[in-house]
Amino acid sequence: MFPSHYPDVEIPNLTIFDYLFGSLAPEDLDRVALINPATGVETSYGKLRDDIEAFAGALAARGVGPGSVVGLLSPNIPEFATVFHGALRAGATVTTLNALYTAGEIEKQLVDAKATWLFTISPLLPQATAGAEGAGIGTDKLVVIDGAEGHTSLGELLGAGEAAPTLEIDPAETIAVFPYSSGTTGVPKGVMLTHRNLVANVAQSRHVMDLTRDDRVLAVLPFFHIYGMTVLLNIALHTRASLVTMPRFDLVQFLEYIQTYACTYVFVAPPIMVALSKHPVVDQYDISSVRTLLSGAAPLDGATAERAAKRLGTQVLQGFGMSELSPVSHMIPAGRDDIPRSSIGLSLPNITCRLVDLETGEEITEYDEQGLIRPGELWLKGPNVMVGYLGRPDATAETFTEDGYLRTGDIAVRSEEGWYSIVDRAKELIKYKGYQIAPAELEALLLTHPEIADAAVIGVLIEDGEEVPKAFAVRAAGSELSADDLMAFVAERVAPYKKVRQVEFTDVIPKSSAGKILRKDLRARERERAAAAGR
């Protein structure tokens, strides 16, 4: 077992609201918490806290409290913080939904999470309405944050004048959020994270991260994803930094916001880092205010990191995490130039790691002549680790060892200096532009097509190093279905990032004797093709 390089930090026994806002000092009240570039409106920490309390009171007066689950379908806007933390302040559990979801995907998550309310914005109302109806959520419980005819608005709830409730909940036992993750395999599942999980990960990360109250953070990574939820929203608020919200990524707008608001700390996913390192438009903007770029959500290669750092004259760091870890477990500390940029850095305080041979199940502890431990699956234990998967004791049991370690599904090495690098993965998830895609979910959808007899999906690399979903499909007898038709069928039914982007028709899908799809055989076939083509 490898304990953290850092001493343990104290994890306060507080709800996430009390941890973030309970210590607001008088001098903090007028500090800018959130900036909306679309309107120029700034929200102070004092107003944000008051709005959260008012929203919690309005929810409590309508019967929302401990045991209630509310859905939040919204891109990054300042009001997200009010709704998200207001619901938690009322004692409810929040399940955040991807703002790109179709009506069917919205319905599926709301039903699985047993949500009874949904909060959204007017541009997303058509799919939100259809999804809510399918989940049995009526118009009276579908709140449109910015207002829409026939729906309660956020402004109406804030103006109700209801007092926030007195809560008596155990932060270590009360589930705060249900973000959805596919784990190491399978379809998306609700990840049960307690208030203590969220508090712990803020405390652990802040010990390593050099974010300060004087920083301006460009919040482009979505708050509905656990990375944005914890690393951008919660950590920035606890630090008393300012968040500049950005509803969706557009490179030119991204650069304009950095220049206009002199953003100093920017969290990105690898595709954004690639653009910053290569795209010619970057040179047209003054983004010299940026002192740190921190990449997460998917592996970042060292060459891209070094290229971006040199071009922008800034510090580039990388971290690692999973929804199941609230999400951060590793991070390159600021100023540690001795750690390779391709590394995920050191484990955070209070985290114990193990590297395990997948073939033998034995723990790997010996270093080679290069000062590295040979690759093994990374197992983790710490106060940020989830309680389990909602309604899925089978998947929970598969993910945890008998002694409480979480199997990450990622293959890592460890240096004698204590830094880790991810070198491969045992899990079958596809990572596209920082989003995770479950092959099993797409396979199930493909099999609903009347002309498809069998199907498998894997991730394949394309020219820019991005991983995209590729479907291997067996046509039904007599079918002349084309690849374009099949890709269009999928595209109509999933969020844009989940679209199948390559199709190969085949006579048979390789499977084990137990009937499990052998995706590893398909991946090996693709690697051989790439090697033969010199890619």
What is the fold of 1-15+195-427?
Rossmann fold (3.40.50)
Domain with CATH 3.40.50.980 in the chain: 31-169
Please count the helices (runs of H) and the strands (runs of E) in the chain.
16, 27
Where in the chain is CATH 3.40.50.12780?
A: 1-15+195-427
**Which tokens is 461 given?**
């690399």
d(CA 405, CA 402): 8
Q: 265 pairs with which residues across the strands? A: 217, 292
Q: What percent of the chain has pLDDT over 70?
A: 98
Half-sphere exposure of 338 (CA within 13 A, CB side): 6
pLDDT, position 380 = 97
Residues paired with residue 469 on neighbouring β-strands, in sequence order: 459
Mean pLDDT, residues 157-182 taken together: 95
pLDDT tens, 195-211?
Answer: 999 999 999 999 999 99
User: CATH says 430-532 is which class?
Assistant: alpha beta
Question: Confidence band (pLDDT; 50, 70, 90) for 97?
Answer: very high
Please check the confidence at residue 227 and state whether its pLDDT lies above 90.
Answer: yes
Residue 428: pLDDT above 80? no
Top CATH class, 31-169: alpha beta
Q: Which residue has the higher pLDDT, 533 or 209?
A: 209
Q: Which residue has the higher pLDDT, 424 or 99?
A: 99
Per-position DSSP letters for 321-335, written without gaps between them:
E-GGGSSEEEEPPTT
Summarize the confidence of residues 425-442 as an average pLDDT: 81
The pLDDT assigned to 193 comes to 98
Specify the range with the lowest mean pLDDT, choosing from 181-195, 285-299, 308-322. 181-195
Q: Cβ of 337: how many Cβ atoms within 10 Å?
A: 10
State how far the Cα of 320 lies from the Cα of 480, in Å rounded to an integer.
44
Q: Which of 122-136, 252-266, 502-516 has the lowest mean pLDDT?
A: 502-516
Q: Within 10 Å of residue 478's Cβ, how many Cβ atoms?
A: 6
What is the pLDDT, as a whole number, of residue 343?
95
Q: What is the value of pTM for the model shown?
A: 0.87
Task: Answer for the pair 184, 427: CB distance below 8 angstroms, yes or no.
Answer: yes
Strand partners, 279: none
Among the listed residues 132, 116, 105, the one whose alpha carbon sits nearest the alpha carbon of residue 187: 105
Asked if residues 272 and 298 have their Cβ atoms less than 8 Å apart, the reply is no
CA distance 212 to 205: 13
pLDDT in tens, 484-498: 999 999 999 999 999
Parts of the chain belonging to CATH 3.30.300.30: 430-532
